[in-house]
Chain A
Amino acid sequence: MSTVAVHDHGVVHHEEGHGHHHKETFISKYIFSMDHKMIAKQFLITGITMAFIAMTLSILFRIQLAYPDKSFPLMETLLGRFAPGGRLDPNFYLSLVTIHGTIMVFFVLTAGLSGTFSNLLIPLQVGARDMASPFMNMLSYWFFFLACVIMLSSFFIQKGPASGGWTVYPPLSALPKAMPGSEGGMTLWLISMICFVASSLMGGINYVSTVLNMRTKGMDLWKMPLTVWAFFLTAVLGVLSFPVLVAGVVLLIFDRSMGTSFYLSDIVLNGKVMPFEGGSPILFEHLFWFLGHPEVYIVIMPAMGISSEIMSVNSRKPIFGYHAMVYSLIGITVLSFIVWGHHMFVTGMNPFLGGVFMITTLIIAVPSAVKTFNWLATLWRGNIRFKPAMLFAIGMVSFFISGGLTGIFLGNAALDINLHDTYFVVAHFHLVMGSAAIFGMLAGVYHWFPKMFGRLMDEKLGYLHFWLTFIGAYLVFFPMHFMGLDGVPRRYYAFTEFESMKRWLSVNVFITWAAIMSGMAQVAFLYNFVTSIFWGKKTTQNPWQANTLEWTAPVEHFHGNWHGEIPTVYRWPYDYSKPGAEEDFILQTTPLSETMSSNLPSDFEDNPVGLEAHSKWVTANRPNEEVK
């Protein structure tokens, strides 16, 4: 261990810079790497792979919804017994929906997003040579990889993957005889989820301890970029809520395999009286949503942090209301623990409790609104550069508004009665946490690609990718609201059995083709991503003229990030277009003494000596200013 352990910052025993004080093999560099930058890339590439798999699944079930009466022999060729006669089996349709949801929520938008960017950016932006525990960081990735393999392996077992919806409510998931997916597939789902939570916890603990203990000199909490704030709060949220999911999952395993009755009572399945007594399915829903709701903030908060940073850099303007942004993130973090019941308004939970959850839910809309307005104010009178990363960050804001507003309907218990589990909900969460979070992630990929791979991605392909995806996502999800308002339920295999739902068939065809178009657009991204890794234009050290610490690190990668001493931080990360400064950005590592012409009295809070020096300088230089 000692050969690979990273030295404490500030104490440099021998030349780190040359990087050959210990030899790295292929395995230690690319596979069991303990370098946070390599682990970030591993998370990213695994995440992208899983995203493509989950996207393909979604296109499969979209085809079923658009053409419920048509037979597609290709489906039978590809899926075999899951699509007899070229038409999806209803049970397999539910499997597709379930695994699409599980992969997207957990494997792409939790691990792929937090895993990638927390790993990459926390050490680089707070000024640390690596994570607090590089070994645990490596374990975190490999547990995640194991979870992915187990989840996907469920496609290769006799009865197919889990199919009770990504929320796996018992008794459906607890009774193997209730549906084919509740047999082996469900067991694999549960095991995979335990591995995943283990991975998440190891990652989260690492992120929290790195942010709290390993910041470089001068980097106090109020000088951290919003990305780090977001990753930090996300990690706190994950560490506190994921264990509850494990508790729920373990009890479900007991119910399934050991004859306990935590979630089961009074059950007659297929005319056969089951021996379970005394449990409650509602208990699982509580345990699940105690994670499940913080989970949607685990998904969206990193995207918020990334977008804030990118919008500030590309508007050449400080983020508006930095403190308000941080406080609203903290507000969201705290409130997200007490709103889970809004998923359960119509489950038979005590209605009074529903009322309380409705109040807390609508309160959480306030910090979200503050964030949105602050983003708009950041753009106002900016000098906006439309890099692909910027476009995706803007797309994230647009989706967050569109999807967030429908949350006000669903958070209202009285309105939820008629909207619960309809396509309105599908539209809501795909916009606000699906599309918004994936756009945050893509923004991050485009923005920090040079940091990860030392090369730039192609901008024109990025533009194409953005517009096709952005328009496609709106075309897919916007019409779904109206289906929901007509009482069309989600997770229906076909809408052919109901006369009133048949009129939505043409809309379904439209949505499917929009989805296929957005899916095809991702090929542009994949091509861009892969070819840019090898043949992209070489980047300079600070390609976006950004202030944060990661752009002071050399382009080439080595374990330890900076040659020599880690830079010291003197200012907040958002000094863009400061009046009086030579350039429109001032690095965090530039001391205030070097930028006398642009200093403001507000830069010297809690620093009376500095303030005095500043006012002296101002009186000495005032005449010059007026001449200008």
Chain B
Amino acid sequence: MGFKTFIKSKKILSLLAVLTLTGTHLVMAQDAAAPATAAATGDAADAAKSAMWTGVEYYLLLFLLACVVIGIVGKILKVYDLTRQIQGKSELNWNGLMASICIVFLVVGLYGAYWEFTVQGTETLPEAASVHGVKIDEMFNVTTGITMVVFFITQILLFTFLFRYRHSSKRRAHYLPHNNTIEKVWTIAPAVVLTVLVVFGFFTWQEITNSADAKGQPSSINIGVTGHQFKWELRYPGKDNKLGAVDYRLVTADNKLGIDYKDKNSTDDLQADTMYMPVNKSVRLNILAQDVIHSVYMPHFRVQLNAVPGLPTFFKFTPTITTADMRNRLNQPDFEYLLYCNKICGGIHYNMKLIVRVVNVEEYQQWLSHQKPYLTDALKKDLKMASANQQKSITPNRLALNN
């Protein structure tokens, strides 16, 4: 086969090696020239660049060295194995070696998992700062307990079986094609456990996602959250605790949310830069997106819901721990609750955050009284002009409703 000799040819191989080396050198030279022409990179950056270059070459050589070492070790093993065979001794027992590595892997792996749980497991989110979050955490702990038992048992069985039943030419495997009893047991047992999890999960989920205020309950504080590339806009209702209607067709430079001021509820709507919430009061987020899908994610409250253009979504929850309290509990004086985007939305997706503060009711009222209304003077002027021009009223023309 021509192809085979082509690969095997030492000339071709050495030519390839020379090409690679000169190639990298050329590339390096090019790059060394680049900073000279491009100004304003700074000395530090240049130094970093040159350091990096030795780095890449260094790692490449290191890898090649590792390959050579592996090759040599392989050859040595082969020679060793052959001499043993010539001397009439048995071949190297690779099968037994693999079985031993399995058991070593099991022990080291179990320790590794334990280490991860104790070290990194403590670096996860602090306790839930909302009423429903506590329930989610409870369910999380139960699920973790059950699954970890299964995890450890099955992995331990898997690797000990491998070691225990490694190959031996002296015995035969046990012919066991099926056993209906045990199969029934391990079909029904997971089914029962999962049913329990499903039932609890289902009711908790129904409770959490019920975003309407029940009759007789004090009404929730409505907060509007609107996402667009790459910022969140907040809207607080005024004294009426009702957010006015919005229509995307009304969006202008001054009316960035497209608030419809024909709706009387709109006139006292307030804008804000930080999301303030009173502690132990039910809050209802009115979530919307203007351009692409975003996701309102507030992990400390165990809150997440997508913001979808054209589909308003709602999440009702009750924060229970104030920011100040949480700072004390975590012993982090600069701790802040955060709201960030958790659905890919474009280049700056990774930096779309909003600070959330939970305060007591008095502070909240005080803060609210300092917020400015959306209806600015400029906007008022625009609106007047619009009505003077007798603009046609926009009628909704939706073909499909999603909610």
| Chain A interfacial positions (CB closer than 8 Å to B) | 70-74, 76-77, 85-86, 89-91, 94, 164-165, 169, 171-172, 175, 178-180, 264-271, 273, 277-282, 315-324, 346-348, 350-352, 354-355, 358-359, 362-363, 365-366, 369-370, 372-374, 376-377, 379-386, 391, 394, 397-398, 401-402, 405-406, 408-409, 412-415, 417-418, 420-422, 459-461, 463-464, 467, 470-471, 474, 478-479, 482, 485-487, 489, 491-495, 497-500, 503, 507, 520, 523-524, 530, 534-535, 574, 576-579, 584, 602
Give A95 Cβ to nearest chain B Cβ, in Å.
10
Q: Whose C-beta in chain B lies nearest to the C-beta of A488?
A: B299
Does B325 touch A at the CB level, under 8 Å?
no
Give A559 Cβ to nearest chain B Cβ, in Å.
20
Kindly identify which residue among B4, B136, B178, B293 contacts A418, using a CB–CB cutoff of 8 Å. Answer: B136
Cβ contacts under 8 Å, A317 to chain B: 173-176
Cβ contact within 8 Å between B204 and A165? no
Cβ contact within 8 Å between A265 and B310? yes
User: Are A169 and B293 CB-contacts (below 8 A) given A267-B309, A318-B175, A414-B139?
Assistant: yes
User: Are A420 and B342 CB-contacts (below 8 A) given A414-B136, A577-B173?
Assistant: yes
Give B398 Cβ to nearest chain A Cβ, in Å.
5
Give B281 Cβ to nearest chain A Cβ, in Å.
21
Within 8 A of A (CB), among B123-149: 123-125, 133, 135-136, 139-140, 143-144, 146-147
Cβ contact within 8 Å between A500 and B175? no
Give B232 Cβ to nearest chain A Cβ, in Å.
14
Cβ contact within 8 Å between A503 and B166? no
Cβ contact within 8 Å between B306 and A175? no
Kindly identify which residue among A267, A352, A391, A489 contacts B290, using a CB–CB cutoff of 8 Å. Answer: A267
Cβ contacts under 8 Å, B310 to chain A: 264-267, 279-281
Cβ contacts under 8 Å, A374 to chain B: 183
Cβ contact within 8 Å between A270 and B229? yes
Q: Whose C-beta in chain B lies nearest to the C-beta of A420?
A: B304
User: Are A94 and B347 CB-contacts (below 8 A) given A366-B187, A460-B74?
Assistant: yes
Give A4 Cβ to nearest chain B Cβ, in Å.
24
Cβ contact within 8 Å between A489 and B123? no
Docked Cα-Cα span, A366 to B400, in Å, equals: 38
Cβ contacts under 8 Å, A267 to chain B: 248, 290-291, 309-310
Q: Which of B206, B292, B338 is packed against the most chain A CB atoms within 10 Å?
A: B292
Q: A282-B311, A460-B77 known; 6 other A-B pairs, CB under 8 Å? A: A178-B346, A273-B248, A358-B201, A372-B154, A386-B99, A486-B125
Does B116 touch A at the CB level, under 8 Å?
yes
Does B70 touch A at the CB level, under 8 Å?
yes
Interchain residue pairs with CB less than 8 A apart (17): A73-B49, A268-B258, A271-B253, A271-B256, A282-B402, A394-B102, A408-B146, A408-B147, A409-B143, A412-B205, A460-B94, A461-B74, A463-B98, A479-B120, A489-B342, A493-B350, A495-B350
Cβ contacts under 8 Å, A385 to chain B: 95, 167
Cβ contact within 8 Å between B52 and A73? yes
Does B111 touch A at the CB level, under 8 Å?
no
User: Are A417 and B154 CB-contacts (below 8 A) given A320-B178, A491-B344?
Assistant: no
Closest 6 CB pairs of A and B: A487-B299, A278-B399, A265-B310, A351-B209, A386-B98, A381-B174
Cβ contacts under 8 Å, B353 to chain A: 497-498
Cβ contact within 8 Å between A324 and B291? no
Cβ contacts under 8 Å, A279 to chain B: 310, 399-400
Within 8 A of A (CB), among B171-213: 171-179, 182-183, 186-187, 190-191, 194, 197-198, 201-202, 204-206, 208-210
Docked Cα-Cα span, A376 to B322, in Å, equals: 50
Cβ contact within 8 Å between A370 and B49? no
Cβ contact within 8 Å between A489 and B292? no
Cβ contact within 8 Å between A348 and B165? no
Give A157 Cβ to nearest chain B Cβ, in Å.
17
| Chain B interfacial positions (CB closer than 8 Å to A) | 1, 3-4, 7-8, 27, 30-31, 34, 41, 45, 48-49, 52-53, 56, 63, 66-67, 70, 74, 77, 94-95, 98-99, 101-102, 105, 109, 112-113, 116, 120-121, 123-125, 133, 135-136, 139-140, 143-144, 146-147, 150-151, 154-155, 157-158, 161-162, 165-168, 171-179, 182-183, 186-187, 190-191, 194, 197-198, 201-202, 204-206, 208-210, 228-229, 248-249, 251, 253, 256, 258, 290-293, 295, 297, 299-300, 302-306, 308-311, 313, 334, 338, 340-351, 353, 397-400, 402-403
Kindly identify which residue among A76, A164, A366, A479 contacts B190, using a CB–CB cutoff of 8 Å. Answer: A366
Cβ contacts under 8 Å, B1 to chain A: 534
Q: Whose C-beta in chain B lies nearest to the C-beta of A400?
A: B154
Give A246 Cβ to nearest chain B Cβ, in Å.
22
Give A232 Cβ to nearest chain B Cβ, in Å.
21
Cβ contacts under 8 Å, B176 to chain A: 317-318, 320, 377, 380-381
Cβ contact within 8 Å between A281 and B397? no
Kindly identify which residue among B77, B158, B179 contacts A394, using a CB–CB cutoff of 8 Å. Answer: B158
Q: Whose C-beta in chain B lies nearest to the C-beta of A530?
A: B7
Cβ contacts under 8 Å, A358 to chain B: 198, 201-202, 205
User: Are A492 and B349 CB-contacts (below 8 A) given A318-B176, A385-B95?
Assistant: yes
Cβ contact within 8 Å between B52 and A72? yes
Cβ contacts under 8 Å, B31 to chain A: 73, 76-77
Cβ contacts under 8 Å, A323 to chain B: 178
Cβ contact within 8 Å between A412 and B248? no
Give A90 Cβ to nearest chain B Cβ, in Å.
4
Cβ contact within 8 Å between A316 and B173? yes
Give B335 Cβ to nearest chain A Cβ, in Å.
8
Cβ contact within 8 Å between B150 and A165? no
User: Are A172 and B311 CB-contacts (below 8 A) given A71-B45, A273-B251, A321-B178?
Assistant: no
Cβ contacts under 8 Å, B258 to chain A: 268
Kindly identify which residue among A376, A412, A461, A471 contacts B139, using a CB–CB cutoff of 8 Å. Answer: A412
Cβ contact within 8 Å between B56 and A172? no
Cβ contact within 8 Å between B178 and A507? no
Cβ contacts under 8 Å, B161 to chain A: 376, 379-380, 382, 384
Give A471 Cβ to nearest chain B Cβ, in Å.
7
Kindly identify which residue among B8, B56, B343 contacts A421, using a CB–CB cutoff of 8 Å. Answer: B343
Cβ contact within 8 Å between A351 and B229? no
Cβ contacts under 8 Å, A579 to chain B: 172, 175
Cβ contact within 8 Å between B311 and A268? no
Cβ contacts under 8 Å, B400 to chain A: 278-280
Docked Cα-Cα span, A91 to B344, in Å, equals: 11
Cβ contact within 8 Å between A70 and B402? no
Docked Cα-Cα span, A218 to B338, in Å, equals: 66
Docked Cα-Cα span, A543 to B151, in Å, equals: 35
Cβ contact within 8 Å between B308 and A348? yes
Cβ contact within 8 Å between B48 and A365? no
Give B104 Cβ to nearest chain A Cβ, in Å.
10
Cβ contacts under 8 Å, B109 to chain A: 474
Cβ contact within 8 Å between B175 and A315? no
User: Are A355 and B123 CB-contacts (below 8 A) given A172-B346, A178-B292, A500-B338?
Assistant: no
Docked Cα-Cα span, A491 to B120, in Å, equals: 21
Cβ contacts under 8 Å, A503 to chain B: 123
Docked Cα-Cα span, A319 to B177, in Å, equals: 6
Docked Cα-Cα span, A171 to B253, in Å, equals: 22
Cβ contact within 8 Å between B194 and A268? no
Q: Which of B157, B300, B310, B340 is packed against the most chain A CB atoms within 10 Å?
A: B310
Cβ contacts under 8 Å, B206 to chain A: 351-352, 355
Kindly identify which residue among B116, B187, B340 contacts A482, using a CB–CB cutoff of 8 Å. Answer: B116
Cβ contacts under 8 Å, B210 to chain A: 351
Q: Whose C-beta in chain B lies nearest to the C-beta of A576?
A: B173
Kindly identify which residue among B56, B124, B175, B290 contacts A268, using a CB–CB cutoff of 8 Å. Answer: B290
Q: Whose C-beta in chain A lies nearest to the C-beta of B122?
A: A482
Cβ contact within 8 Å between B194 and A362? yes
Give B297 Cβ to nearest chain A Cβ, in Å.
7
Cβ contacts under 8 Å, B150 to chain A: 401, 405
Cβ contacts under 8 Å, A270 to chain B: 229, 291
Docked Cα-Cα span, A459 to B77, in Å, equals: 13
Cβ contact within 8 Å between B204 and A414? yes
Cβ contact within 8 Å between A348 and B302? no
